[in-house]
Amino acid sequence: MALRERHFKRRLAYSTVSNLSYMLFGVLLMTPEGLLGGLTHMLFHSIIKMVLFLCAGAFMHVTGREYIYEINGIGRKMPVTFTLYTLSALSLTGIPLFCGFISKWKLLTAGISSGQTVGLVGMAGLIISAFLCAMYTLNVSIRAFFPMKGTDRSGSGGIKEAGVLMLIPICLFSVFNILFGVYPGPVISFLEKIAQGVI
């Protein structure tokens, strides 16, 4: 449904539905590792999705447009917004060096260590879903920066980069996305204590 969706924010909303199932998968394994994976993904997915929705909001506010086809070529006029969107989209697919990789890795290892059939089925679902996620999120980035000939929509309306007040929260959460991807230790340690019932 996300692949078929043409409205920018609704496509991201379908992605949220998918990622909520990852969190449930971790919790329903009924193991400390599964709960850790679910909690980690809940936190890190919220960071990723904030960037994606803020970028979508900036695009819609600046251009007055709402649909995916209207993004064609806009990355050249809004390079910061769509570069940070692309980094978060990569994180959402589970690429290393971003926090999305950490949480999905925790879920995958929890599925393996559970020794349950549901764990193995869930792992397969996560891997397939990651490919689909790449298709429906990175398609936006490709359209923004590399529109097909004759489809560029950046030339009209005096479109420019989003304002500073819009870019500050996008940049802030993008920093968290990379920081927790490279150095997740303290956050993971805290969530481990929750998962093990220490806190």
Q: What is the pLDDT of residue 148?
A: 86
Q: What is the pLDDT of residue 158?
A: 79
Q: Domain segments of the chain: what residues?
A: 8-195
Residues in the chain predicted with pLDDT less than 70, given as ranges, are 156-157
Q: What is the pTM of this model?
A: 0.93
Q: What is the pLDDT of residue 179?
A: 97
Q: What is the pLDDT of residue 1?
A: 86
DSSP reduced 3-state for 194 = helix
Q: What is the pLDDT of residue 24?
A: 94
Q: What is the pLDDT of residue 156?
A: 62
